[in-house]
Structure 1
Amino acid sequence: MADISSITKLRELTGAGILECKGALDEVKGDFEKALDIIKKKGFAKAAKKEQRATAEGRIGSYIHTNGKLGVLVELNCETDFVAKNDVFQQFLKDLCMQVAATKPIAVKREDIPAHIIEEQKKIFMEEAKEKPANIAEKITLGKIENFYKEKCLLEQTFIKDTTKTIKDLLIANIAKIGENIKINRFARFEVGEG
């Protein structure tokens, strides 16, 4: 039998319903980590089912740093205007604005990064590894390209408020919490003095 504090903690971490949390804890005889995995997997399944649904509603969030020299706009889409007004959706949008301000991503996902930028990075990384044997230089370059994606693609970045999660993890968790498809459509980051 799952205890109320574990159910509450699991619900706070995942946004899943009380019965879903209780069921997951009962299924694994109270093992919190295993229950968390079950809920996360169900959240991924829910998100995958909703992924094809149209996201024609949403909001644009903004952040202006206190010194007035940094500003961010993020467009977050959802299926209905009702969800766009939801507190969970609004908080996620604020978190995304702060993330973009703090981490300077260049694209939402890796497919959005222009090919010429990736080619430039590969040349830089190959040059850095030129003293190594060709097969090792290639592996080093591929590893650095993966790290480049994790640093520059918003969905792959580590969340600034919780380094155990990526932005994609947060997106999936919010889709599961809200029950609608959510899409980070685009963002713009402006900083005084940057070209």
Structure 2
Amino acid sequence: MAVSIELVKELRERTGAGIKDCKDILEQTEGNINKAIDILRERGIEAAAKKSTREAKEGLIGVYVHYGSRIVGMVELNCETDFVGRTEEFGSLANALAQHVVALNPRYISEDEVTDADVTESGLTRENFVKESVLLAQPFVKDASRTIEEKLKEAIAKLGENIIVRRFVRYEVGA
């Protein structure tokens, strides 16, 4: 099936995938853009898994100061090269993650950091505690259909480098 250039362009704008990949996947899905997005997302997750062992020592710190300057969030987001670290997309991701930290106030980056004592003390089930307290497991504040971990994997696939959250901090006046 031949697909229109407008459909290819729309898929490219929505996913950041290459033009040839967009065209091929749209032909494969007979022009179904939602199926094409799902396939590209799966491929991105696979690509992210391959890159996860690569060292990420470059990057930047994303900062978000909430209205009224009473709450601020900072996130150190690392990548492999300063080239990617200087891109607008990487900077936007870092700042969006800082905004997420302000909004949802996670306590840990990954589930590996959670202790059984923390879960017991909270009175929640482990799964609920993780969803509430672990940054990577939380639904992204700007798109609740994806977790922070999924958002990072999409960025890895799009930018072609390993990306990790090294650390974060949230300050609130009076807290």
For the criterion TM > 0.5, the same-fold answer is yes
Q: Which moved more, 1:30-39 or 1:84-93?
A: 30-39
**Identity among equivalent pairs (%):** 41
* 3-state SS of 1:67 partner: coil
User: TM-score normalized by structure 2?
Assistant: 0.93
1:84-129, Cα deviation, whole Å (9 max, x unpaired): 10111001001101100011111111112233211213xx24xxxx
**Partner of residue 142, structure 2:** 161
Asked if residue 69 in structure 1 is aligned to residue 70 in structure 2, the reply is yes
Q: 1:70: Cα distance to partner?
A: 0.8
Count of residue correspondences:
174
Q: Which residue does the alignment assign to 1:188?
A: 169
* Counterpart Cα distance in 2 of 1:23 and 1:17: 10
Q: Partner of 1:114 in structure 2?
A: 115
Which of 1 and 2 has greater Rg?
A: 1
Gaps of 5+ in 1: 126-143
7-16 or 42-51, larger mean C-alpha shift: 7-16
- The CA RMSD measured in Å over matched residues stands at 1.4
Query: Are the aligned partners of 1:106 and 1:113 in contact in 2 as well (CA < 8 Å)?
Result: no
Contact 1:78 1:180 in 2 (8 A): yes
Matched, 1:178 2:159: yes
**Aligned pair 1:24/2:25, yes or no?**
yes
Give the 3 Å change call, closer, same or farther, for CA 33–66 of structure 1 in structure 2: closer
Q: 1:151 aligns with which of 90, 115, 132?
A: 132
CA-CA distance at 1:44 after TM superposition: 0.8
Q: Which amino acid aligns with 1:44?
A: I
C-alpha distance in 1 between matches for 2:12 and 2:144: 20
- Residue 175 of structure 1 contacts residue 181 of structure 1 at CA under 8 Å; is this kept in 2? yes
Q: Give deviations 1:121-180, integer Å, cap 9, x for gaps.
A: 3xx24xxxxxxxxxxxxxxxxxx4212211211111111111221111110111111111
Q: What TM-score does the superposition give when structure 1 sets the normalisation length?
A: 0.84
State the Cα distance separating 1:58 from its structure 2 match.
1.0
Runs of 4+ in 1 over 4 A off after TM superposition: none
